[in-house]
Amino acid sequence: MSTQIFNLPDLGEGLTEADLVNWLVEEGQTISVDQPIAEVETAKALVEVPSPYGGTVLTLHGKPGETLMVGNPLITVGDDAAQSSEQPGALDYREEEQAGIAVPEETDDESSGSVLIGYGTSGGGTSGRTRAPKRAATPTKPQTDQPATVAASSAPRVISPLVRQLAKRNNIDVTHLSGSGQGGIIVRADVLAAIDAPTASSQPEATAVETDDRDARSGLTIVERVPMTGVRKMVAEQMVRSRTNIPEATAWLDVDVTELIELRARLKADNPETAPSLLALIARFTTAALRRYPVMNSRIVENHDGEEIVYFDGINLGLAAQTPRGLVVPAIEHAERLSARQLTTEISELVAKARDGQCTPAELTRGTFTLNNYGVFGTDGAAAIINTPEVAILGVGRIMDRPWVVDGEIMARKVTELTLSFDHRVTDGGTASAFLTSVADAMHHPASALADL
């Protein structure tokens, strides 16, 4: 019998590992080319991995919850598994891009598994994952290494270790939850609902803490150990790279945005459904300033001759978003082409996808400049860390009433603080300050700025 081993591919993110969340097939099952076989959690997103081979599943290499290394075996397929290397899916995803092989685009059909997708699709309420039916004539190989309670009808059906971790960290007893996923599986939404509306039944009984697990430095008892994995691990590594490699400088500026608040109020009063959001207006002023100072929208890239500054024909505007999975930065592609109203829709949809864990790896890595609205958390200002390999990040603090001098008189005005962190290897303080002032001037006199856009 001919066999083919499919190794865990580089998912196009340059990552070296992924956590196996769930198998979508079983040993002994017949699968087809491009059929999703597993859900894996990378440091960027939760994605389905399609098989480049068709045939009979002989071996599943790994158990849910394990961390798998890129390049190590993921699945072994037998019989009719040998496929032409020219067929989409038969190569590593990065090799396919280099070879120019066209992979079918994602369609409205939720059963499509020909491309890596985020957790769920944008269609109806079901996940739309494709699974081949089990063969009635030949029983599948039993999973002897899994505890028997997994199949018991009385046990909570929690497949994702991320869901288990979310429940554990919020003291939610999953045995009292009803799963809304396919087949009664408990999903993240079920746990979040229990967190928002806790009941007595959702709280586990108090358990004794191990008294011998003490921290040598503080002398206190350790009550929980949380591994640095997934998004948290990615954020930590990204921040270390940024602080280690980038000679970072920060500039800030207080801005009177009273006119901006009044303009947005008038637009909302005229048409509440189509009025641009405040963040979308700021994003529009930011993209206009980036076109005026394109070095702020560049990247530093390493090649065989060293490092070089690369410029782009567009702006992929990243938006720092806090999600249940941690901090992620999804980016709007060619944001400079969109109006403030269009940006409102794009921002709303993209942030919602990020919070639901549905962003694709491309959406989470394509940014060329980041806008961070930490004012929603009640913060006045912050020296944000640059999202490498980008060269700058703009932060917006909370808007508050402050005494401000207008035409020689002190008045109460709406004021916010803009903070710009930039890579001093790429640009100097003069250009960075000019960019920051350009955004601030537009926010201070928005009607005039919009008239020029």
Region 220-233 average pLDDT = 75
SS3 434: helix
Please state the φ and ψ torsions of residue 321, each to the nearest 5 degrees. Answer: -130, 130
Q: How far is CA 300 from CA 35, 361, 423, 431, in A?
A: 37, 20, 10, 17
Nearest to 411 by CA among 279, 252, 259, 253: 259
Catalytic residue, chosen from 176, 424, 444, 445, is 424
Work out whether strand 299-303 and strand 73-78 pair parallel, antiparallel, or are unpaired: unpaired
Long-range pairs of 307-313 with CB within 8 A, sequence gap ≥ 24? 309/426, 312/368
Region 100-108 average pLDDT = 36
Where residue 161 falls among pLDDT bands split at 50, 70, 90? Answer: low
304 carries an active-site annotation: no
Q: Quote the CA–CA distance of 10 and 47 in Å, as a whole number.
A: 12
pLDDT tens digits, one per residue of 295-342: 999 998 888 888 889 999 999 999 999 888 778 899 999 999 999 999
Cross-strand partners of 419: 252, 395
Where residue 15 falls among pLDDT bands split at 50, 70, 90? Answer: low
Nearest to 9 by CA among 71, 57, 53: 71
Cβ-count burial 276-289 (b if 16+ within 10 Å, e if not) = bbbbbbbbbbbbbb
Residue with tokens 């290499």: 61
Q: What type of residue sits at position 106?
A: E
Work out whether strand 331-332 and strand 46-50 pair parallel, antiparallel, or are unpaired: unpaired
Please state the φ and ψ torsions of residue 319, each to the nearest 5 degrees. Answer: -125, 110
Instruction: Record the tokens describing residue 408, joined without a space.
Output: 């020689």
Region 212-233 average pLDDT = 75
Query: How many other C-beta atoms are found inside a 10 Å radius of the C-beta of residue 201?
Result: 10
> Would you say 160 and 188 are in contact if contact means Cβ atoms under 8 Å apart?
yes
Does position 96 have pLDDT exceeding 60, yes or no? Answer: no
Q: How far is CA 248 from CA 244, 391, 427, in A?
A: 10, 9, 10
Q: Quote the CA–CA distance of 174 and 177 in Å, as a whole number.
A: 5
Q: Quote the CA–CA distance of 268 and 278 in Å, as a whole number.
A: 11
Instruction: Give the containing element (helix H, strand E) for 350.
Output: helix 340-355
Instruction: Give the containing element (helix H, strand E) for 322.
Output: strand 321-323
DSSP label of 129: -
Share the mean pLDDT of the chain.
77
Q: Quote the CA–CA distance of 25 and 67 in Å, as a whole number.
A: 18
Instruction: Give the containing element (helix H, strand E) for 48.
Output: strand 46-50
Helices in 127-256 by DSSP H: which ranges?
161-169, 188-196, 230-245
Helices in 52-113 by DSSP H: which ranges?
93-99
pLDDT tens digits, one per residue of 33-91: 778 899 888 765 677 888 888 899 999 999 988 888 888 999 999 875 344 333 434 44
Please state the φ and ψ torsions of residue 177, each to the nearest 5 degrees. Answer: -100, 150
Per-residue pLDDT, 356: 86
Instruction: Give the containing element (helix H, strand E) for 291.
Output: helix 278-292
Residue with tokens 């290394």: 69
Does position 258 have pLDDT exceeding 60, yes or no? Answer: yes
> Would you say 317 and 283 are in contact if contact means Cβ atoms under 8 Å apart?
yes
> Would you say 331 and 312 are in contact if contact means Cβ atoms under 8 Å apart?
no
Per-residue pLDDT, 144: 41
> Would you say 8 and 70 are in contact if contact means Cβ atoms under 8 Å apart?
yes
pLDDT tens digits, one per residue of 168-213: 777 888 888 888 776 677 877 788 788 776 444 444 444 444 446 8
pLDDT tens digits, one per residue of 403-447: 999 999 999 999 999 999 999 989 999 999 999 999 999 999 999
Q: Is the whole model's pTM more than 0.85, yes or no?
A: no
Cross-strand partners of 403: 412
Burial of 167 (0-12, 13-18, 19+ CB in 10 A): buried
Residue with tokens 């004021």: 415
Secondary-structure percent of the chain, ordered helix, strand, coil, rounded to 5: 30, 25, 45
